[in-house]
Structure 1
Amino acid sequence: MSFESPSTDFFRGLDMNALGIDQAYVNITHQLEEKSVYLYKLSADCEKCPFVYHDETGEPIGSEGYNFTIVTHYPWQLRLRSSNENHSVSQFIQDPHELCTVGVNGGEYGVYDIILDETQSCTVVEALEATNSNLALLYCFLILLGLGILFQMLVFVNKKGYLDGLKSILRGFKKSLGFEVKEKPEKEDNNNETSRPPMKNRLKSLDTFRGMSIALMIFVNDGAGGYYFMEHSTWNGLFVADLAFPWFMWIMGFCIPMSVRSFTKKNTALPVILIRIVKRSIKLFLLGLFFANNGNIQLERLRIPGVLQRFAISYLVVAGTSAIIGKYMKPMDTETIRGWRSYVVDIFTHWPRWIVAFAAIFIHACIIFLLPVPNCETGYLGPGGLHDDSEHLPECIGGATGYIDKLILTNAHIYNYPTAKAVYQSSAFDPEGILGCLPSIFHVFLGYQAGQIILSYSGHRQRVTRYLIWFLGTGILALGLCGASLNDGPIPINKNLWSLSYVFATTSLANILMALVYVIVDVKEWWGGEPFFYAGMNAIVLYLGHQIGWRLLPFHFAVGTMNTHWIHLVESLWTTSLWMFVAFVMFKKNAFVVV
């Protein structure tokens, strides 16, 4: 059963079940017997691109008509021309061979007729109504909301002891079957000196946030139901999948000042600290290298950059410099400082870290805007290929960022299928490349700042207020750098380049989300963070596990043609939920894996 099946199996001889997710048919007919008619296409997703010849057949469109499929993620501009001499034609220059240009904003499983009459005027008609592909999202959200409410009700009832009678009956039943049953222990007297000491306090909201991030990463890596806006943006912009990775970077930075304080309290020697940091960085890098090349054993095609590799390099720089600074500088004492400085203790504690952070951004800016790139415009930040009316070579993708990777690593050792390739006809580009490590280091330092707030201030109001200030401050900086525009600002928000506006935008969202989760989980205790709290305690296991599990039952399955959002969404949610359950079992068994 599907909520988004085609309304009919066949329509005017078209097999509707042959369409995939977010696809529609377009039928072109014309009444021009003395002219050849050729089709050129332009997607709204391709910024400042030319119309490109649709050379599926290489022949002109006959009067009997021509059917083809379109992807309905973005609106299309379709141009009918009397010549196909050029593979592409500019959308900004008058076209002498233009017959007509029409826009088609199609929907899934729709059928659209484009009729070119004798006056060279085009009409678009929706011959078959499209389905609502977003209903699956609504239904799944309501189901998950209901399950979440039911779970919280069961937790509440269990805490109140209302299920003790049922538990006793079940224990008796198991005992009657011969199972060894542990009797429920008596409640310990709080005044008893021999009672078990309380567990070390832990910032539960941070583990919850980390768990939410890993759940999001698993969900989007498993396809996110096939919804394009939950995947990565083509080039500029911020989609759902663009959030998980930077949030993890931010959270990693959040934890570093706690580690530095722990080393300081234990009076651990600096060489020992640095060796531990280097060891952990090497482990992360190697794990990333092995898992990113899962299934690829050709050393001449080994991809070097990757997600965990970026973590390793950023952690090495931030944790290493923080350990050195923390060893020779004492943190500012909020109890003794008075006046305006008491409001910025978190910022000025171990202040030399900001020198390293801003140095990384300064070096990055100098390279991307000043480094000459052969056959490319200096300071170019676009995807190359069709971008800017095909003024840039496909190899110009990412400007200096892409050039450095190709110069040092070559195309053979970087990612060859970037999100921009299919749309802009660009060349290879690695979103986790070398130059992007510099803004990532700055990103981790911003996470360090958030963690320093916890250490510098003990009051809930003080902490939340500062998270809100950082949310507004970094959000304003992001809007200023991108010019509150998708493509026209000085530094657009771009995950592929890890642009500075992207760093500030995702940091802003991380601060507001952390503030919200902190209030709900740690301050008000309205929610225990389940099930994300468990996932946050074993995030590295879930990340590495889902990299392999997508090839295996029960973590991944297929049913029929898998050509609806509904079945893809169920599969993605099943995979994510199963990994949440794995985290829960590991938590209950006190099994925690750290690198």
Structure 2
Amino acid sequence: MDEDPKRMEEGLNSALNGDGNKDDLKKRATIKTSNGGSIFEHDKDTMAKPVAEGESVQQIAEQEQPPVKQKTKRVATLDAFRGLTIVLMILVDDAGEAYPRIDHSPWNGCTLADFVMPFFLFIVGVAIALALKRISKIKHSVKKIILRTLKLLFWGIILQGGYSHAPDDLEYGVNMKFIRWCGILQRIALVYCVVALIETFTTKLRPTTLASGHLSIFAAYKWQWFGGFVAFLIYMITTFSLYVPDWSFVDHFNGDEPKRYTVICGMRGHLGPACNAVGHVDRQVWGVNHLYSQPVWRRLKACTFSSPGSGPFRDDAPSWCLAPFEPEGLLSSISAILSGTIGIHYGHVLIHFKGHSERLKQWVSMGFVLLIIAIILHFTDALPINKQLYSFSYVCFTAGAAGIVFSGFYILIDVWGLRTPFLFLEWIGMNAMLVFVMAAEGIFAAFVNGWYYEDPRSSLVHWIKKHVFVNVWHSERVGTILYVIFAEITFWSVVAGVLHKLGIYWKL
């Protein structure tokens, strides 16, 4: 196991040739790090300095020698943190129905499931800082960023736009009248694109060394924080100043015949489910038929007696309980840029501070400050923690938690050297896109379900869940959680480990 305290830097210092002169031809290195399956690659190269008068033939020959390709090391803590996020997603998606307390909060509040999206965006930020710390050609980097953004958008629409009905419905295809344009990968694409472009275009403004003082890292990357502040202003001003009129929708999914409902609003600054600016923007931009048709607010007490679980609607449930709502919408995704901005700050700390203690002081202190801000805003009812609206308090709370967890992983893996217990998370993190698609989105389970005997419910997946887990424990809840842990998380850990040994990765 590599216990070098600088293992995580992945070639932060430029490679120099034999005499160590910083003006000599620098060696070419490639940095690869994963972002939810997206692999960021960057070539560090510079132009060779012209031969100076009086240089010896030997010196010229040494400069003209082909560069030696250095094998870079992956960021183990980042891989483990990414793997943890994928594991959390599988757990809450597939066991959330049996354990509603870990599923998404119906509105205000924060559950285990509500940490998944901001953890992903935090990872995006850290990975961008590492991948783009050296940029040779801005145009080339911009092209790669745009291409990667388009790939994420494409896969997001395929997986969550309605085309895929995995894992239970053995059909595919989407009615374009109801296609969902937003989703998890689409939000990651937007945040990645904005944060990476800011990082790219400010490359010439980056300092090589930091000034003294605890806040010098913030001043050094003021343009990144300025971008986050602009996103914050856009979100806050729109949320509290945009007028939300009455709106209507047609319920196509509950009942035999479609039925139109009208929601009475006519207000500004409302943070409840029915009349908030986040939903209004999405209805105007995408259209009400293109939003998520099963929002989590259906589990509110106002909508069902089964709250916080799913259940039949109350007879006196307000009409908006039946309405669609986009949890990964446009305005809330603008707010989510802040999560990526905070993540890239943690990456900058990793680059500039060499010692464990200096890094941890920066990371932990910021994490606790963010948590305190969020708790104050939430419990004073100034800005409740709300994942569906992606409120500022939610950004602070989840980013603070991400920073604390990331710091904890860093202590365990890099400071104490306890890497082996977290190898399964590293393996998943290195093939995050594969596990996300096959496990979290249920594509592999859908493939297995496609081979059944007489009835679609008589497939291998259903048989294992019923006979190996549920019937053995005589409990649907216990059987479900054990199935998720062993038949999904453990299974894909082994698969990811085998693929890692074979050097096979799904890269975007």
Deviations 1:236-275 (A, max 9, x none): 1111111111101101111111122132xxx2x2111111
Partner of 2:132, secondary structure, is helix
Verify the 8 A CA contact 2:356 2:415 in the aligned structure 1: yes
- CA distance in 1 between counterparts of 2:289 and 2:494 reads 38
Tell me how far apart the structure 2 counterparts of residues 220 and 356 of structure 1 sit (CA, whole Å).
32
Unaligned runs of 5+ in 2: 1-67, 166-172, 247-264, 304-320, 449-459
Match of 1:380 among 251, 261, 270: 270
Deviations 1:60-101 (A, max 9, x none): xxxxxxxxxxxxxxxxxxxxxxxxxxxxxxxxxxxxxxxxxx
2:427 to 524, 534, 543: 534
> For residue 222 of structure 1, what is the aligned residue in structure 2?
94
SS state at 1:222 partner: helix
Q: How many residues align?
A: 373
What is aligned with 1:312?
A: 189
TM-score by length of 2: 0.70
Amino acid of the structure 2 residue aligned with 1:589: L
What is the CA distance between 1:366 and its match in structure 2? Answer: 0.5
Tell me by how many angstroms 1:572 deviates: 1.2
User: What is the aligned partner in structure 1 of residue 437 from structure 2?
Assistant: 544
Q: Are 1:523 and 2:415 matched, yes or no?
A: yes
Please tell me whether the aligned partners of residues 374 and 396 of structure 2 are also in contact (alpha carbons under 8 angstroms).
yes
Alpha-carbon separation, structure 2, partners of 1:441 and 1:581:
34
- Alignment-derived partner of residue 205 in structure 2: 329
Q: How does 1:442-457 map to 2 (within 5 A)?
A: 442-457=338-353
What secondary structure sits across from 1:300 in the alignment? coil
Superposition RMSD on alpha carbons, in Å?
A: 2.0
Select which of 216, 221, 234 maps to 1:363: 234
Whether 2:471 is the aligned partner of 1:559: answer: no
Please state how far the C-alpha of 1:551 moved relative to its aligned partner.
2.7
Aligned partners of 1:432, 1:518: CA distance in 2, in Å?
A: 30
Per-residue CA deviations over 1:96-148 (Å, capped at 9, x if unaligned) read: xxxxxxxxxxxxxxxxxxxxxxxxxxxxxxxxxxxxxxxxxxxxxxxxxxxxx
* C-alpha spacing 1:260/1:353, structure 2 compared with 1 (3 Å): same
TM-score, with length taken from structure 1: 0.60
Residues 468-492 of structure 1 show CA distances to partners (whole Å, capped at 9, x for unaligned) of 10111101111122126xxxx1111
Say if 2:118 and 2:395, in contact at 8 Å, map to a contact too: yes
CA distance in 2 between counterparts of 1:509 and 1:354 reads 19
Of 475, 479, 497 in structure 2, the residue corresponding to residue 584 of structure 1 is 497
**Deviation at 1:225?**
7.2
Residue in structure 2 matched with residue 572 of structure 1 by the alignment? 484
Structure number with greater CO (CA < 8 Å, separation at least 6) is 2
Separation of aligned partners in 2, 1:197 and 1:331? 26
Quote how far apart the aligned CAs of 1:418 are.
0.5
Q: Which amino acid aligns with 1:273?
A: S
Pairing 1:414–2:291 present: yes
Matched with 2:400 is 508
Contact 1:495 1:502 in 2 (8 A): yes
Which portions of structure 1, spanning 4 or more consecutive aligned residues, are displaced by more than 4 angstroms?
Answer: 196-199, 554-557, 560-563
Instruction: Note if 1:262 corresponds to 2:134.
Output: yes
CA shift at 1:229, angstroms?
Answer: 1.2
Q: Report deviation, 1:349.
A: 2.2
How far apart, in 1, do the equivalents of 2:445 and 2:98 lie?
Answer: 15
1:469 maps to which of 365, 376, 379: 365
For 2:310, the equivalent position in structure 1 comes to none
Q: Structure 2 matches for 1:123-142, cutoff 5 A?
A: none
- SS of equivalent residue, structure 2 residue 330: coil
Shift of 1:582: 1.5
* Secondary structure in 2 matching 1:436: helix
The CA distance in 1 between the partners of 2:244 and 2:69, in whole Å, is 62
Stretch of structure 1 that moved more, 353-362 or 550-559: 550-559
d(CA) in 1 for partners of 2:191 and 2:477?
A: 37
CA contact (8 A) 2:106 2:299 kept: no
Q: Is the CA contact (8 Å cut-off) linking 1:549 and 1:555 kept in structure 2?
A: no
Please say if residues 252 and 447 of structure 1, whose CA atoms lie closer than 8 Å, have aligned partners that are also in contact.
yes
2:98–2:480 contact (8 Å) kept in structure 1: yes
Higher radius of gyration, 1 or 2? 1
Are the counterparts in 2 of residues 332 and 349 from structure 1 also a CA contact under 8 Å?
Answer: no
Percent identity over the alignment is 27
SS at match of 2:143: helix
Mapping of 1:28-177 within 5 angstroms? none
Task: Give, in whole Å, the separation in 1 of the partners of 2:434 and 2:181.
Answer: 21
In the alignment, what sits opposite 1:352?
Answer: 223
Higher helix share: 2
Question: For structure 1, which runs of at least 5 residues remain unmatched after alignment?
Answer: 1-195, 385-395
